[in-house]
Copies of this chain bind each other. A is one copy, B any other.
Amino acid sequence: MKKGWECLETKEVFKAGDGKTVYIELYQDRVRTPKGNVLTYTKYHASDVVIVVPFIDRQTLLMIRQFRYPIGKVLLEFPAGHVENKEDPLDTAKRELEEETGYRARKVEYVYSYHPAVSRTRQSVHIFRATDLARASATKHDGGEQISMRKVTVKQLRQLITKRKVENAGTLIAYLLCCTMKTSSGRRR
C-alpha cells in the first residue's frame, strides 16, 4: 500500500495577505487515498511563524500581553511574528523581538520547529532562544497591535501554567522546550 495520498486537483478558494505575509490561502483538493477513496480535503497555507523566548537572565523572561481579536482577550505570550517573504527565520526572530519589546539580543539560537495544525496546513512554527539582551530602541507595533511588556520569572510562568492561565499553544511549547528540556544543538532543518 502506498503511504501518501494522490492529489488529483487543487483549487484556491480564498486568499488574504499584505504582500509581505500570507495570512491565509485556502485550498480545496480532490485527493485519492491509498485505499482508493476519493475525497475533498480543505487545507490552507500561511506564512511560517517564529517565536522568541527572550531570557533577561537565567531566571527571568521577557513576555508580552497582547489583545487577540479572534478570542476577544488579552493573552500572555512570547514575542512572535510571521516570516516575511524570503526572510531567514533567524532574522525574523531578531526583528520581531526588537519590534515588540525594544530589546536586541546578541545571541539568538534555533531551538525547534513544529506544525501548529497538522490536519489543515503545512505551516511551521520555529522557536528561538534569545540571550544577552540590551535595550535598543522604541517598540514598533503594527496598526492593529496592542502590546505591553512583562518581565516574568521562569517560576512564575510555571505557576501560571499549573493554574491553566497560559492559553497560547506556541507559548506553552516554547516554555517546554526552552525552560524544561535540552534539545540537541544544530541548525534549522
Contacts and interface: CB of A to CB of B under 8 A. Distances in A.
A95 interface: no
Interface string A19-33: 000011010110101
The count of identical subunits is 2
Nearest to A162: B183
A169 B116 contact: yes
Contacts of A69: 5, 29, 31, 41, 43
A173 B177 CA distance: 10
A42 B16 contact: yes
A168 B16 CA distance: 25
A42 B13 contact: no
A66 to B, nearest CB: 8
A173 B180 contact: no
Contacts of A184: 162-164
Interface string A176-188: 1100111110000
A144 B34 CA distance: 9
B34 A146 contact: yes
Interface stretch (A54-62, A84-92, A117-125, A128-136): A117-125
Given A16-B28, A70-B119, A114 B5 contact: no
- Ranked nearest first, the 4 interchain pairs of A and B with the lowest CB-CB distance are A176-B176, A16-B42, A43-B70, A68-B118
